Amino acid sequence: MLKETEKKKPTREERKASLQKSKRTLRRILMEAKPIRWWLALAGFISVVSVGMVLAGPELLGKQTDVLYQFWANGTAIDMPSFIRQCAVLGGVYLIAGVCSLATMFIMNNVVSKLFTCELRIRMSDKIRRLAVKFVDDTPKGEVISRMTNDVSVLGNTVHTVLDLTISGIIKLVGITVIVFTIQPLMALSVVVLVPLSLTIASLISQRSEKHFSDGRDFIGKIYALNEEDFAGFATIKAFHLEDRQKRAHETLVDTAKGHLQSGYYLAGIVQPIVALTNNLAYIAICLLGGALAINGTINVGEVVAFVLYAKLFAGPLESISGGLSTMQHTLASAGRVYDLLDREEMVQPVERPLPQGGGHIRFEHVNFAYDPAKPLIQDLNIDVHPGQKVAIVGPTGGGKTTIVNLLMRFYDVDSGCITIDGVDTKSMDRADLRSMFSMVLQDTWLFSGSIYENIAYGKAGATREEVLEAARRAHIDFFVETLPEGYETQINEESTNVSSGQKQLLTIARAYLANRNILILDEATSNVDTRTEILIQQTMDELMRARTSFVIAHRLSTIVNADTILVVNDGQIVEQGTHQELLAKNGFYAEIYNSQYALLN
């Protein structure tokens, strides 16, 4: 893996650009922590106190050691009250240092988790709400979950790392350097001369690990997405014996992620051994040189002991700095994924204006649209739907039926042309206000965790119990709900597996009844119910759609024979238009679809 890395060495310009990007990202992370700056300041102050106590300890211990050495070597009497008092001070110093470290850890863990990572996840959730539906359609759910969980957690850890790097690392390093030079400059020089070399090597290696961590995090997101897909399609995978295929897909992603992360962790992992080697070399030099100086009387034994302790402490800041540099590359990769989501372009919000007050006159005027610019779908579409009309949209799969509804609801915006409701362009309306005009039953039903009653009540804020029960009755869902032991308080589980597909469809239809809005959209609304229930629903639908502008999308043409107008869509264009009888009389595309369905039934 290192060979691969060496083959693709970045250019000087690429390294410079990467460094600038890393600096911008780090500055942004620190700006994100601005709301908790006072907590960070408190934690920083306590850390400084802790560092001060840690730096004072070796000097006090060295003095006490020298007192004992003078007593042993020269018979110098010990002032016991003073000796005991100094030992008590020494114990107090280390006790204060330990308490300060615990306090800093407590503050950082609580503040960062509650006020930083939590706030960041809320912002990401709110951002997703303001993004276009296209983002949700194009991005695997597992990818988003990975960014909101793993990547945000890494950013939270970074705030702690930066504080530790700055105070426990740099300040302690500077403090120890000053102290050892005051004790013995020659010995101090043997330690300090090796520090810039080790830090330079650590920095260069850490920079090389960033790309590997970034690529590894991307593949971890893909693994999350595949896991989500496996659980969502568990029954399908079992039914078609796709276990081995999914296993191979997992192995491919895991191996790729493993390769990137191994390279990243290898490069990051050799940083600390290099620093440790530097520390050991310095430690050997101190012991040899200190022993020689003590023998010739240049320094006393207590100063040698203090110097050795400071040299051992020297390893902590170096390892803290090198570990921080390694972690920082991992962090920058995660931060890039988080900020990529937060910086995505949001849906344009028009200036709020009153909603149209007409009866629901809808027009598509020369509408063009494509999910992929290279593959045009809707081309020069013109539709004129009068208030109260029931309009059916039929056609082959992929012909553009559901896309028309997506454009009407502004899940996607048209590329050109316009859609108007009672003369008002939908692009000038707030999306939430526009959608408040519609009741909708989708082909893919969705129920929320909660009771059956709550799932129906989602259709209307503040709905009374009588209204909810009436909606259930009109959707013909009451008969099966009342047979359940807990009735309307029956809890829908997370995957809605304790109700059938048809029952889920009926619940969403009841939700639409409860909403009782001017425009109704039914996308394959009876696709998951039996024939008897379909007939009952169809009769109630006819009543519900009376005096409302209604769009019905269906593959089973028997459900829309009484529509006022049937739009036959193929390749994004209306190829035929008229009533059921008129279209049959034309003996065209609609008649072909209709006859083929009945030929299959016969």
CA distance 545 to 542: 5
Neighbours of 498 (CB within 10 A): 11
CA distance 494 to 504: 13
| pLDDT confidence of residue 4 | 41
Instruction: List per-block mean pLDDT (blocks of 10 residues) for the chain, which spans 602 residues.
Output: 46 72 78 79 86 86 80 77 87 90 82 76 84 77 80 78 70 84 81 68 70 78 80 71 82 87 80 74 78 80 81 72 68 82 76 67 89 83 86 81 85 90 86 83 75 87 88 84 85 71 80 85 66 68 76 78 86 83 89 74 47
Which residues is 390 bridged to in the sheet? 550
What distance lies between CA 393 and its chain's CA centroid?
A: 37
Q: Is the dihedral of CA 372, 378, 380, 382 positive or negative?
A: negative
| pLDDT confidence of residue 602 | 45
Neighbours of 68 (CB within 10 A): 14
152 in Cβ contact with 335 (< 8 Å): no
Neighbour-count burial of 16, counting CB atoms closer than 10 A to its CB (0-12 exposed, 13-18 middle, 19+ buried): exposed
The single residue listed with the structure tokens 């996840």 is 121
Which residues is 416 bridged to in the sheet? 368
| pLDDT confidence of residue 497 | 67
Q: Are strands 491-492 and 450-451 parallel, antiparallel or unpaired?
A: antiparallel
Neighbours of 244 (CB within 10 A): 8
H or E stretch including 516? none
Q: Which domains does the chain have, with CATH numbers?
A: 30-342 (1.20.1560.10), 362-601 (3.40.50.300)
Phi/psi at 421 (nearest 5 deg)?
Answer: -120, 115
CA distance 533 to 543: 16
| pLDDT confidence of residue 96 | 92
Q: Are strands 390-394 and 424-425 parallel, antiparallel or unpaired?
A: unpaired
* Residues listed for the chain: 602
Token pair, residue 180, equals: 């050892």
| pLDDT confidence of residue 64 | 82
